[in-house]
Amino acid sequence: MRDYFDLFNITKEQLKLLLDEALASGGDYADIFFEYSTGEVLALRDGEVNSIRNDIDFGAGVRVIRNGRTGYAYSESTDLRDLRAAAQAAARIANSPSERRKTAQIVPLKLKNYYPRSNESSDFNISSKKDYLKGIHTRLSEGDSRIIQIIGQSSCSLSKIIFINSLGEFYCDERPLASVVFSVIFTQGDITDNYTSSKSFRMGDEMFTPALADEIVGEILDAIPTVLEAIRPKGGEMAVVMGAGGSGILLHEAIGHAFEADFNRKGISIFSDKMGEQICSKSISIADDATIPSNRGSLNVDDEGVPGQKTMLITEGVLTSYLHDRISAQHYKVKPTGNGRRESFRFEPIPRMRATYMENGTATTEEIISGVSQGIYVDKFRNGQVQIGAGDFTFFVKSGRMIENGRLTRPIKDINIIGNGPKALADILEVASDGKMEDSTWTCGKGQQCPVSCGMPTVLVKSLTVGGNNQ
Amino acid sequence: MALDAGASNVRVILEKGRGDVVTILNGKIDRLYQAASSVLYFHIFAGGKYGTFSTNLMDEVTLRQFTANAVNATLLMTPDEHRSLPERELCYKGDGPDLQQYDPSIESRPSTRGIAIAQEVAAEMLSDGRVISAESEYGDYVEEHFIADSLGFEGYQRKSGFAIGATCSVGGKGDEKPERNWYEDEVFFDNLQYRGCGTKALNMALESIGPVKMPSGSYNMVVDRNIAAKLVMPLTKALKGSALHTRNSFLVDRLGEKVFGENVFLRDMPHTIGNASSRLFNIEGIATKERDIISGGTICNYFIDNYYSRKLSLAVTIGTPSVVIMPKNELLSNNKLSLSDILKRAERGIYVTQFNGGNCNAATGDFSYGIEGFLFNNGEITHPINEMLVSGNLIKLWNNLIVTADDQMKSRKWQIPSLCFSNVNFNGL
């Protein structure tokens, strides 16, 4: 902890002084978020690791809340004079100096560690990562002669954080995040196409294992012949079987955002008056979880001092909780759920997802597919979006297969799927027991960029609208 | 410092910015936000080896250590002979026009002006009893960019910006709560047309109540000017050097070819006066100039920066577009056309006002986007639609352009008017 205070050149006494300053105009609550982030990206092009990017970001943000309203300012200097100016700027949200509160006694939070690092003292360095990327490149280029370009990238970042609030809650946290991304461009005859595989975890260099390289190489080499053979299906409404893993994007887009309580506090979410109601089949339970070890969406503690936890959004079909930050929790008179997240010290926290997944059902994948006479099976995705008020969500499918008479047939690709959140949820007819988390580099962009993840067992959605040809 | 540490050349970019934002939710201040940041970037060249670095810790001792570490890390890279600073004759010489991107009044703006504007815009929305939530946001900012490199280039750019946004949710049929937004942004405060923003967002939300889903099929498609850039961006992306080099582009090897309809024109206008996206030089210091991107359906220029110029043995143009305009096209119409005119010209079809997700395959040009909008018949809007998709291929789409309106918004980077295409594939019922 001493190291953190030295890093930001600040003392506990000064922190308390700053919080008192932030509350001087009558704020109900104040917090300060110090962050020192370093990041390194190595890029492989033309068979060589020939560029590096390295970034340092340092500063502190001060937030003041008054009656659910937010004042926020940040400083890139932790000089006390600059921090006081930020505190004074944030304090402007309040205008009742006579109601001035005092900061409570400072008590460190006791936190679990969901991203333990196994080899912090390892000698895995830039040269090792170069070899790692080049190794994957070699295996890909030797693995399929149709590949004409390979682009690879490793990324590692580490954020060191001090947080303190006027309730006296205090923590230090160190958040690693690493990823590997490989894209290939391949050609056969007059067809040229691409495929990308990415993996990401809250880990450091220990992420770069031979097993992970095997997984990336295997996924890409398996995908190439399938993508080359793939077509666009006939579009329109049809049954969609969503494969285990990445199909969790359905949860993220169709319901996850609509469960973020800032949208519900404003009354604009299509789920804003559904708490406690049965909104889907009893076979469905959905969680948003910060506690999965080393998962990209995991957090020991959120960005406003609430310990990492698992939150059940839907339990046996009943809407049981929204995703809360402190402001929405106070509005709904519930405990915050640890979903107050921010992109960096430059932003105030808002309700955000972490790792969102559906729990297992009892069906098998084979049973589900065999019950579909005409539809599609989808398992790889690229991006998604939702209209919160209307509930209409979309996700872009990179690959899947047609289902004809209960059998997986021709591969399909590059289609968008659109549906309505509440209806799609109610239309989930079967849930398999093969749930798994998707470990790709999912980043959610709700005004601020936050790493997230998702997961899902195979499910059958009775009907969604599929983009495709009309012939 | 970087040269002292062993770099053969270096480019340094200093970016400074500051801004204030106020958000009004349902008539009350919901958020006050103040930002001020400075970031220093280094692009280090060391004997063909290359790295980019950034920090906002700028005391001299820390910077000296940072640059030494940066050079050492760069030296660990594999050399790439194409990495270098651009030739001097390509660089901006300081002889360009004043782009008029800075409003000095921002330095003396009254502290309560933003609140008053945002409240006025919010009040426009709260005038209707069907409103569930009315949010308005006013922000202003100043940005400064200074670029210098070790071969003597120096360039400076300063910009101001003023923006107002309105987001309105209304009670619809059943559980639906349609939400629409409108925003305006300008370099000069006096040009900011903030009055009426709330009314526009409110009316758009009310008009979208009770959407229906249409049968799948081929329709004429009119795309609103607010979102038309979504159909242009994949074209310029496919013309970039990085996409061409990796052949992850559906427009590779097509320079000089007529690929699109003869009525398709796009032009990069980096010297547009008073536009926030205009620039006299790019991040490499290379002087910008006006260029045709597509003329009469023929691809006229790629976007080639210094690196990809060397890599692909192509002349430098510029790495990314600045202000992209679709010029008035006499082939389509001699008259000034409004959105209403092109709806009449198309007679019947789908008027798309929002895209909802989707993507475009860079290698093939195949796209699939979610859409919301309206069905129109005999040139008149009949009812809102939603939960539909538009899918196709960009080359085919841009060969089916029928007509464009003359309604592009001059403050935007992408000045694309409302567009009308024939025979577009929609998926619905």
CATH number at residue A213: 3.30.160.100
User: E strand or H helix at A191, and its extent?
Assistant: strand A191-201
Give the pLDDT of residue A469. Answer: 84
| Chain A positions in Cβ-Cβ contact with residue B202 (cut-off 8 Å) | none
Q: Based on the domain organization, do A462 and A346 belong to the same domain? A: yes
A66 alpha-carbon distance from chain centroid: 29
Tokens representing residue A255 in the block: 């319901």
Q: Based on the domain organization, do A304 and A258 belong to the same domain? A: yes
Residue type, A395: F
Identify whether A212 is part of a domain: yes
Distance separating alpha carbons of residues A261 and A386, to the nearest angstrom: 15
| Chain A positions in Cβ-Cβ contact with residue B28 (cut-off 8 Å) | 69
Give the pLDDT of residue A375. Answer: 96
Distance separating alpha carbons of residues B267 and A9, to the nearest angstrom: 52
Q: Based on the domain organization, do A207 and A258 belong to the same domain? A: no
CA distances in angstroms from A417 to A233, A440, B227, B380, listed in the order given: 12, 20, 20, 29
Q: Based on the domain organization, do A148 and A35 belong to the same domain? A: no
Q: Based on the domain organization, do A243 and A359 belong to the same domain? A: yes
| Rg of chain B on CA atoms, in Å | 24
Residue A431: half-sphere exposure toward Cβ, Cα within 13 Å: 25
Residue type, A314: I
What is the arithmetic mean of pLDDT over B12-21? Answer: 96
Give the pLDDT of residue B330. Answer: 64
Q: What is the pLDDT of residues B354-397, one digit of tens each?
A: 999 899 999 999 999 999 999 999 999 999 999 999 999 999 99
Identify whether A163 is part of a domain: no
**Phi and psi torsions of A253, nearest 5°:** -85, -40
CB neighbours of residue A222 within 10 Å = 11
CB within 8 Å: B133 and A387: no
Which has more pLDDT, B228 or A269?
B228
| Chain A positions in Cβ-Cβ contact with residue B56 (cut-off 8 Å) | 56-59, 76
Residue with tokens 């955000």: A352
Q: What is the pLDDT of residues B176-212, one digit of tens each?
A: 888 999 999 999 999 999 999 999 999 999 999 999 9
The answer to whether the CB of B48 falls within 8 A of the CB of B80 is yes
The answer to whether the CB of A288 falls within 8 A of the CB of A311 is yes
What is the share, in percent, of chain B residues with pLDDT greater than 90? 92
The answer to whether the CB of A288 falls within 8 A of the CB of A253 is no
Burial of A367: CB neighbours in 10 Å, binned 0-12, 13-18, 19+: middle
CB neighbours of residue A118 within 10 Å = 11
Tokens representing residue A395 in the block: 């996700």
Residue of B nearest to A385 (CA): B357
Give the model's confidence band at B135: pLDDT under 50 very low, under 70 low, under 90 confident, else very high. very high
Identify whether A67 is part of a domain: yes
B62 alpha-carbon distance from chain centroid: 36
Identify whether A408 is part of a domain: yes
The answer to whether the CB of B355 falls within 8 A of the CB of B371 is yes
Q: Based on the domain organization, do A91 and A205 belong to the same domain? A: no
CB neighbours of residue A214 within 10 Å = 12
Q: Based on the domain organization, do A202 and A256 belong to the same domain? A: no
Q: List per-residue pLDDT tens for chain A, 471 residues long.
A: 778 899 999 999 999 999 999 999 999 999 999 999 999 999 999 999 999 999 999 999 999 999 999 999 999 999 999 999 999 999 999 988 788 888 888 899 999 999 988 765 566 789 999 999 999 999 999 999 999 999 999 999 999 999 999 999 999 999 999 999 999 999 999 999 999 999 999 999 999 999 999 999 999 999 999 999 999 999 999 999 999 999 998 899 888 988 898 887 787 777 878 899 999 999 999 999 999 999 999 999 999 999 999 999 999 999 999 999 999 999 889 999 999 999 999 999 999 999 999 999 999 999 999 999 999 999 988 888 888 777 888 989 999 999 999 999 999 999 999 998 888 999 999 999 999 999 999 999 888 999 999 999 999 999 999 998 875
Nearest CB to B370 within list A58, A272, A416: A416
Identify whether A116 is part of a domain: no
Terminal-residue alpha carbon distance, chain A: 65
Q: Based on the domain organization, do A334 and A441 belong to the same domain? A: yes
Distance separating alpha carbons of residues A303 and B350, to the nearest angstrom: 44
| Chain A positions in Cβ-Cβ contact with residue B32 (cut-off 8 Å) | 70-72, 89-90, 92-93
The answer to whether the CB of B49 falls within 8 A of the CB of B80 is yes
A208-217 contacts: CB < 8 A, separation 24 or more? A208/A124, A208/A128, A208/A129, A208/A132, A208/A154, A208/A178, A208/A180, A212/A180, A213/A132, A213/A135, A213/A136, A213/A139, A216/A136, A216/A180, A216/A182, A217/A136, A217/A139, A217/A140, A217/A143
Is the Cβ of B211 closer than 8 Å to some Cβ of chain A?
Answer: yes
Number of domains chain A contains: 3
Q: What is the pLDDT of residues B295-344, one digit of tens each?
A: 999 999 999 999 999 999 999 999 999 999 998 776 666 678 999 999 99
CB within 8 Å: A270 and B176: yes
User: E strand or H helix at A240, and its extent?
Assistant: strand A236-242
Q: Based on the domain organization, do A336 and A205 belong to the same domain? A: no
Question: Domain B9-207 adopts which CATH fold?
Answer: PmbA/TldD fold (3.30.2290)
Q: Chain A to chain B, count of Cβ pairs less than 8 Å apart?
A: 253
Identify whether A168 is part of a domain: no
Domain ranges of chain B: 9-207, 217-427
| Chain A positions in Cβ-Cβ contact with residue B53 (cut-off 8 Å) | 53-55
Considering only A381-385, B45-49, B250-254, which range has the smallest mean pLDDT?
A: A381-385
Give the pLDDT of residue A471. Answer: 58
What is the arithmetic mean of pLDDT over B241-258? Answer: 95
Residue A184 structural domain: 126-158+176-229
**CB contact residues (below 8 A), chain A span 128-167, against chain B:** 130, 148-149, 151
- Paired sense of beta strands B366-377 and A355-358, if any: unpaired
What is the arithmetic mean of pLDDT over B3-27? Answer: 95
Q: What is the pLDDT of residues B406-419, one digit of tens each?
A: 999 999 999 999 99
**Phi and psi torsions of A100, nearest 5°:** -60, 130
Longest dimension (CA), chain B: 72
**CB contact residues (below 8 A), chain A span 215-254, against chain B:** 232, 235-237, 253
Identify whether A84 is part of a domain: yes
Burial A4-21 (b: 16+ CB within 10 A, else e): bbeebebeeebbbbbbbb
| Chain B positions in Cβ-Cβ contact with residue A396 (cut-off 8 Å) | 357-359, 368
CB neighbours of residue A110 within 10 Å = 7
CB within 8 Å: B370 and A468: no
Q: Which of B26, B34, B28 is nearest to B115 (CA)?
A: B28
Mean pLDDT of chain B: 94
Is the Cβ of A414 closer than 8 Å to some Cβ of chain B?
Answer: yes
Residue B84: half-sphere exposure toward Cβ, Cα within 13 Å: 10
Asked if the model's pLDDT at residue B350 lies above 70, the reply is yes
Give the pLDDT of residue A271. Answer: 81
Q: Based on the domain organization, do A75 and A142 belong to the same domain? A: no
Q: Based on the domain organization, do A241 and A382 belong to the same domain? A: yes
The answer to whether the CB of A353 falls within 8 A of the CB of A339 is yes
**CB contact residues (below 8 A), chain A span 65-124, against chain B:** 68-76, 86, 89-90, 92-93
Tokens representing residue A354 in the block: 């972490």
| Chain A positions in Cβ-Cβ contact with residue B367 (cut-off 8 Å) | 414
Give the pLDDT of residue A168. Answer: 95
Give the pLDDT of residue A99. Answer: 81
Identify whether A364 is part of a domain: yes
Distance separating alpha carbons of residues A450 and A428, to the nearest angstrom: 28
Q: Which of B151, B163, B167 is nearest to B26 (CA)?
A: B167
Q: What is the pLDDT of residues B266-300, one digit of tens each?
A: 999 999 999 999 999 999 999 999 999 999 999 99
CA distances in angstroms from B95 to B151, B221, B319, listed in the order given: 18, 44, 21
Distance separating alpha carbons of residues B203 and B180, to the nearest angstrom: 9
Distance separating alpha carbons of residues A225 and A410, to the nearest angstrom: 12
Q: Based on the domain organization, do A265 and A404 belong to the same domain? A: yes
